[in-house]
């Protein structure tokens, strides 16, 4: 990480939802036009064989820097669990001071923006939904994913809430 003046906001998404969304995104692009099965795509994701490298390595690299003063590590699912705390943490990280009323207005605006984005045609593929993976991963795929996750993330104390 660069310890200069720049600030980095890193948002990680639970990898099971991410791989479903990533697959749907790949299938929707004319330039990518991925035509393989989800099972094959998921296997490639777990084996770090997709175009942008390993999600596991990438997320762990940023997690290792979460305590750096210029890095704010967020989890996508936290927007749904506690948007107010996430917005408050973001404002504090960016040095934006706001009173309780301003914070409530900001949270409300963010909530409306999330709702608009998740219901727009641009997001029609998956709508950014948390827990999307339950509709797509089979029991055996989920078990394999858990096994790979434990293997690749076993030394990390980063945890995702797969129960949402």
Helices (H), the chain: 15-28, 38-46, 55-63, 76-81, 83-94, 100-119, 139-153
Q: How confident is the model over 19-29, as pLDDT tens digits? A: 998 888 887 77
Residue 47 has pLDDT above 80, yes or no: yes
- How many other C-beta atoms lie within 10 A of the C-beta of residue 159? 9
Reported confidence tier of residue 119, pLDDT bands at 50, 70, 90: low
DSSP state, residue 29: -
- How many other C-beta atoms lie within 10 A of the C-beta of residue 13? 19
Q: Which of 76, 89, 45 has its CA nearest to residue 160?
A: 76
Residue 125 has pLDDT above 50, yes or no: no
More confident residue, 116 or 12: 12
Rounded to 5 degrees, φ, ψ at 5 are -80, -25
Whole-model pTM?
A: 0.81
Residue 144 has pLDDT above 80, yes or no: yes
Reported confidence tier of residue 128, pLDDT bands at 50, 70, 90: low
**Residue whose tokens read 């945890």:** 159
Residues with Cβ within 8 Å of residue 86, at least 6 apart in sequence: 74, 78, 79
What is the third-level CATH fold of 8-151?
Rossmann fold (3.40.50)
Which pairs count as long-range contacts for 143-151, CB under 8 Å and 24+ apart, including other chains? 144/46, 145/15, 145/16, 145/19, 145/42, 145/46, 148/46, 149/15, 149/56
């Amino acid at each position: 990480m660069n310890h200069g003046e720049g600030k980095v906001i890193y948002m990680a998404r639970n990898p099971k939802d991410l791989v479903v969304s990533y697959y749907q995104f790949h299938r929707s692009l004319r330039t990518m036009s991925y035509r393989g099965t989800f099972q094959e795509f998921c296997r490639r994701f777990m084996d770090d064989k997709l175009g942008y490298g390993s999600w596991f390595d990438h997320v762990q690299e940023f997690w290792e820097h979460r305590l750096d003063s210029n890095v704010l590590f967020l989890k996508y699912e936290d927007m749904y669990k506690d948007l107010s705390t996430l917005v408050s943490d973001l404002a504090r990280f960016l040095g934006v001071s706001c009173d309780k009323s301003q914070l409530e207005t900001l949270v409300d605006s963010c909530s409306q923006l999330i709702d608009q984005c998740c219901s727009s045609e641009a997001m029609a593929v998956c709508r950014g939904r948390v827990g999307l993976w339950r509709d797509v991963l089979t029991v055996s795929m989920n078990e394999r994913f858990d096994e790979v996750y434990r293997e690749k993330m076993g030394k990390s104390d980063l945890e995702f809430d797969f129960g949402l």
